[in-house]
């Protein structure tokens, strides 16, 4: 490979300092993972699964409230459990740390690949557009397993480029080792989809380059065998835990085949057969890179960028997008593995623009609009919080002043067409806007709308250790919150007849009820004829409509209702 290919947009020696970028990235991600509890819909489930891993079954079988939960392989649970061990306890922050590290790692792979293809400045742009895009930064600061999938796919993409277009034999060997190693890691992150992304990118590249004999080389036979052995090891572990094959059937058929095939009988959520579902969601999740897509396409067309530069990221993105579109279940966060290749494709235009090249009046208009919006948000978010609470917050004030200073410098550089300074200032301004908004409002949103910790702590305080604790018709979040904060498993009851049978037995069990369907009277979730026997000890509402009630069976209702979370009580809740 010629040196010209790796220096398409590099016009002079670039010695851009990278330490500040790494430090700022880590600091900004820390703002988003501390100071709040587990948020629905996914965090409580993943955090509790990590706490339980190895407690009931072996380390290969995930459980939720003590029952097998086999939607995905256990990679993220292992990482979060390791984080708990280092932190000394299971906390929301410890559960999020692996996701933050993996998201930054995804950005690092985007940087490595873009730097190899388009130069140093393009690498920095790819890192920033990946790690601090709207969706990656949002999901990357939650206790969710999808950042692990994005990281594995990004690593496989980097290995694919080294393997297909090596500079020497050593790069070829290590490239394929990385490709197949990260493909296997992708399976342990989220199942077969973790292998599908790298496989489609590989097949797309060799088909376009007409290298049809490539898959039959010994390297790929050995690499494919390694991936199959890695898959088989985990499937064998599931079979060892359940020789009847129930675990294998639940994982392979119900949670993979039925999720992907639109016509299958999958009974879970997120069913969507629309072929246009992901288009607007990708554009929204890729911001700020979205604003540069048209300019990047024109740039590649005018420069006639060689296929060997575009092949891996383009096949990775395009075929991955088709794969997700064909799937029967769809969610915004499933796009996470595709933001890195999109950032790589956009990065050479950003690198050229930082030199003042390929900038037209529309690009300048986008720069002005984006900079002014970020500046206003960064400065006003802390001020709005102080006005809302009616209190003076010193750190918020400092943040507003610092954001105003950075905004002035960035806008001044833009007005003077000092492009290098403007892009540096815009990057810092983006970090400031995120840190300002998250630091000012995440804690408030958690305390007043999202946190379910008060209910978990109340259950731990009010329910004796030897008492019977029942969850009536719970969802995954309830199955996670109660054991996570109480440190004990609860008995799950889904049918009203079973509940009545238990209440007819000796003893006075505690029962948790969930109401999330916005009924006029949330307490109506408790059967009316059982309400006198099940007075509410504690009530909690989150997200404005999700009520959790802790009740205890007694002969006569005498306990007052305790309520939290800053919402109007349900009708008649003054006395149960």
Q: What is the 3-state secondary structure (H, E, C) of 398-423?
A: HHHHHHHHHHHHHHHHHHCCCHHHHH
Range name among 260-264, 266-270, 488-492, 558-562 with the lowest pLDDT average: 558-562
Give the Cα separation of 548 and 398 in Å (integer): 39
Token couple for 50: 């990590």
Q: For 177-188, what is the mean pLDDT?
A: 96
C-alpha 100, offset from chain centre: 9
Give the Cα separation of 503 and 530 in Å (integer): 9
Determine contact, residues 122/114, Cβ cutoff 8 Å. Answer: yes
For residues 393 and 126, which has the higher predicted lDDT (pLDDT)? 126
Looking at residue 271, the DSSP 8-state letter turns out to be: B
11 pLDDT more than 60: no
Cα dihedral 43, 48, 50, 54, rounded to 10, equals: -160
Determine contact, residues 561/569, Cβ cutoff 8 Å. Answer: yes
pLDDT for 2: 45
Token couple for 123: 């690498």
Q: Are strands 536-542 and 491-493 parallel, antiparallel or unpaired?
A: unpaired
Burial grade of 465 (CB within 10 A; 0-12, 13-18, 19 or more): exposed
Burial grade of 6 (CB within 10 A; 0-12, 13-18, 19 or more): middle
pLDDT confidence of 16, banded at 50, 70, 90?
very low
pLDDT confidence of 115, banded at 50, 70, 90?
very high
Give the Cα separation of 410 and 18 in Å (integer): 19
pLDDT tens track for 199-234: 999 999 999 988 988 999 999 999 999 999 999 999
Percent of the chain with pLDDT strictly greater than 70: 89
349 pLDDT more than 80: yes
Q: Are strands 469-472 and 491-493 parallel, antiparallel or unpaired?
A: parallel
Of residues 346, 225, 101, the one with CA closest to residue 233: 225
Q: Are strands 546-552 and 510-515 parallel, antiparallel or unpaired?
A: antiparallel
Can you give 175-229 as a three-state secondary structure string?
HHHHHHHHHHHHHHHHCCHHHHHHHHHHHHHHHHCCCCCHHHCHHHHHHHHHHHH
pLDDT tens track for 495-511: 888 888 888 888 888 99
pLDDT for 338: 96
Integer CA distances (angstroms), 118 to 59, 199, 306, 422, in order: 43, 24, 11, 21
pTM for the whole structure: 0.89
Across 355-390, b (16+ Cβ under 10 Å) vs e yields: beebbeeebeebbeebbeebbebbbbbbbbbeeeee
Integer CA distances (angstroms), 46 to 51, 245, 492, 495, in order: 9, 24, 19, 26
Give the Cα separation of 515 and 527 in Å (integer): 12
Integer CA distances (angstroms), 13 to 10, 26, 120, in order: 7, 27, 9
568 pLDDT more than 50: no
Q: For 256-267, what is the mean pLDDT?
A: 61
Mean pLDDT value across the chain = 84
Give the Cα separation of 110 and 344 in Å (integer): 6
Give the Cα separation of 88 and 222 in Å (integer): 41
pLDDT for 529: 83
148 pLDDT more than 90: yes
571 pLDDT more than 80: no
For residues 29 and 139, which has the higher predicted lDDT (pLDDT)? 139
315 pLDDT more than 50: yes
Give the Cα separation of 231 and 403 in Å (integer): 49
* DSSP, residue by residue, 15-72: ----HHHHHHHHHHHHHHHSS----TTTHHHHHHHHHHTTTSS-TTS-EETTEE--SS
pLDDT tens track for 350-395: 999 988 888 888 889 988 988 888 888 888 888 887 787 777 777 6
Burial grade of 124 (CB within 10 A; 0-12, 13-18, 19 or more): buried
Integer CA distances (angstroms), 546 to 144, 446, 475, 518, 570, in order: 21, 14, 11, 8, 12
Percent of the chain with pLDDT strictly greater than 90: 37
Integer CA distances (angstroms), 352 to 17, 90, 120, 367, 467, in order: 18, 46, 11, 15, 67
C-alpha 56, offset from chain centre: 27
Helix or strand or coil: residue 287?
coil
Q: Tell me the range of 20-34, 239-253, 320-334, 343-357 where mean pLDDT is highest.
A: 343-357
82 pLDDT more than 90: yes
For residues 181 and 272, which has the higher predicted lDDT (pLDDT)? 181
Range name among 172-186, 389-403, 447-461, 523-537 with the lowest pLDDT average: 389-403
Looking at residue 568, the DSSP 8-state letter turns out to be: P
pLDDT tens track for 408-419: 888 888 888 888
Determine contact, residues 426/403, Cβ cutoff 8 Å. Answer: no
């Amino acid at each position: 490979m010629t040196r010209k290919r790796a220096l398409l947009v590099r016009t002079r020696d670039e010695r851009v300092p990278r330490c500040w970028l790494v430090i700022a990235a880590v600091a900004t991600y820390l703002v988003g993972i501390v100071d709040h509890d587990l948020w629905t819909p996914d965090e409580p489930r993943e955090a509790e699964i990590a706490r339980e891993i190895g407690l009931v079954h072996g380390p290969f079988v995930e459980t939720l409230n003590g029952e097998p939960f086999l939607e995905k392989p256990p990679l993220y649970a292992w990482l979060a459990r390791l984080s708990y061990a280092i932190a000394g306890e299971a906390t929301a922050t410890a559960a999020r740390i692996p996701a933050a590290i993996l998201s930054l790692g995804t950005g690092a792979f985007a940087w490595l690949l873009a730097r190899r293809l388009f130069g140093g400045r393009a690498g920095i742009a790819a890192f920033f557009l990946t790690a601090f895009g709207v969706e990656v930064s949002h999901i990357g600061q939650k206790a969710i397993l999808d950042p692990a999938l994005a990281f594995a796919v990004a690593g496989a993409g980097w290995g694919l480029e080294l393997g297909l277009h090596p500079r020497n034999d050593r790069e070829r060997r290590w490239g394929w080792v990385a490709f197949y190693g990260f493909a296997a890691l992708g399976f342990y992150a989220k199942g077969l989809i973790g292998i599908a992304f790298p496989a489609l990118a590989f097949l797309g590249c060799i088909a376009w380059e007409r290298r049809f004999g490539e898959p039959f080389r010994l390297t790929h036979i050995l690499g494919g065998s390694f991936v199959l052995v890695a898959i088989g090891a985990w499937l064998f572990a599931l079979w060892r835990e359940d020789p009847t094959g129930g675990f294998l059937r639940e994982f392979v058929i119900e949670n993979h085949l039925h999720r992907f095939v639109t016509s299958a009988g999958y009974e879970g959520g997120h069913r969507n057969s629309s072929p246009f579902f992901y288009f607007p969601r990708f554009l929204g999740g890729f911001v700020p890179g979205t604003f540069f897509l048209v300019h990047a396409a024109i740039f590649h067309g005018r420069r006639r960028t060689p296929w060997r530069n575009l092949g891996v990221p383009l096949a990775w993105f395009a075929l991955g997008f088709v794969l997700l579109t064909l799937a029967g279940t769809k969610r915004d966060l499933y796009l996470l593995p595709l933001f890195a290749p999109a950032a790589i494709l956009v990065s050479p235009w950003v690198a050229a623009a930082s030199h003042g090249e390929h900038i037209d009046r529309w690009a300048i208009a986008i720069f002005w609009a984006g900079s002014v919006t970020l500046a206003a948000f960064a400065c006003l978010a802390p001020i709005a919080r102080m006005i809302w609470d009616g209190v003076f917050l010193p750190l918020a004030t400092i943040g507003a002043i610092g954001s105003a200073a950075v905004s002035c410098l960035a806008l001044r550089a833009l007005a003077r067409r000092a492009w290098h300074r403007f892009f540096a200032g815009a990057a810092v301004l983006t970090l400031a806007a995120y840190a300002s908004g998250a630091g000012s409002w995440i804690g408030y949103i958690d305390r007043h709308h999202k946190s379910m910790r008060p209910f978990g702590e109340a259950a731990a305080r009010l329910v004796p250790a030897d008492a019977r604790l029942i969850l009536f018709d719970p969802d995954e979040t309830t199955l996670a919150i109660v054991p996570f904060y109480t440190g004990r498993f609860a008995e799950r009851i889904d049918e009203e007849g079973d509940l009545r049978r238990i209440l007819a037995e000796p003893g006075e069990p505690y029962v948790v009820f969930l109401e999330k369907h916005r009924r006029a009277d949330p307490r109506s979730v408790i059967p009316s004829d059982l309400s006198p026997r099940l007075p509410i000890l504690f009530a909690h509402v989150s997200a404005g409509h999700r009520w959790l009630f802790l009740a205890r069976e007694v002969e006569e209702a005498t306990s007052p209702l305790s309520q939290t979370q800053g919402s109007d009580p349900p009708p008649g809740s003054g006395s149960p």
